[in-house]
Amino acid sequence: MKTVLITGCSSGFGLAAARHFLARDWAVVATMRTPREGVLPPSDRLRVIALDVTNAESIRHAVESAGPIDVLVNNAGFGVASPAELTPLAALREVFETNTFGTIAMTQAVLPQFRQRKAGVVVNVTSSVTLKPLPLIAAYRASKSAVNAFTESMALELAPFGVRAHLVLPGRSPETRFGETARTRMHGMDHEAYADFVKASFARMADPSSPVTRAQDVAEAIWRAAIDPSAPLRIPAGADAIAWAAETIGAPISV
């Protein structure tokens, strides 16, 4: 039986991915900053472990508690919205600490066992907003773009050891708590210089006719990355993400 460790499983993409792997008879180590009962279906193949990816001791304890794993899914993260001019440096550091440095720290903690075993898969969940510029999310986009760059270079280094690395790039998903979480980290949206621009931007994003991403789309993309050695390095997840990828790359993509 293979084992996957997934970060950020309390809701959204991480929760959907944990359910997806459980339904396919994998052992799942589901990590959350604050574990909650009843989030996932009871299973003797499930372990729920507390993990704060910004804390080195928490990472060490989680990886030791998990034991040998076959796949690491770095999904933990959050959004922040603000005009670039008005983004507090403290907010910028906070989003990088979790989205970027947390992902890198988890990866570094797990790679030794993959390298020594000459097998393993790292799946980093970033975002399709890294494919093209969007307003008001400069800090978030930068934190995820950094993970893309890190993963792409790392994949070249790991290939000789038989270890794979992939990026899953979700689109906008109204069914998750991402937007709700991002709203708690908004800065400067009512500034008189940007208020009209912010209003117009939010109206475009709320267009109900626009394609969106379902949490299940992301779970399926993560599953593909985990089990398919021929999967591409970058896997867009969701109708909007697939359309953006085709548009920005300028050619048909493997999805």
Decide: helix, strand or coil at residue 141.
helix
**Residue 72 exposure: Cα atoms within 13 Å on the Cβ side:** 28
- Strand 3-6 and strand 27-32: the pairing is parallel
Q: Is residue 140 annotated as a catalytic residue, yes or no?
A: yes
CB-CB neighbours of 186 under 10 Å: 15
In the chain, beta strands by DSSP E: 3-6, 27-32, 46-50, 71-74, 120-125, 163-170, 234-237
- Strand 234-237 and strand 163-170: the pairing is parallel
Structure tokens at 235: 């896997």
Angle at CA of residue 145, ends 213 and 255, nearest 5°: 40
C-alpha distances in angstroms, 125 versus 152, 161, 171? Answer: 13, 22, 11
C-alpha distances in angstroms, 78 versus 13, 14, 23? Answer: 12, 12, 26
In the set 140, 194, 223, 244, the catalytic residue is 140
- Name the burial class of residue 250, with classes exposed (0-12), middle (13-18) and buried (19+) by CB atoms within 10 angstroms of its CB: exposed
Query: Annotated active-site positions, please?
Result: 140
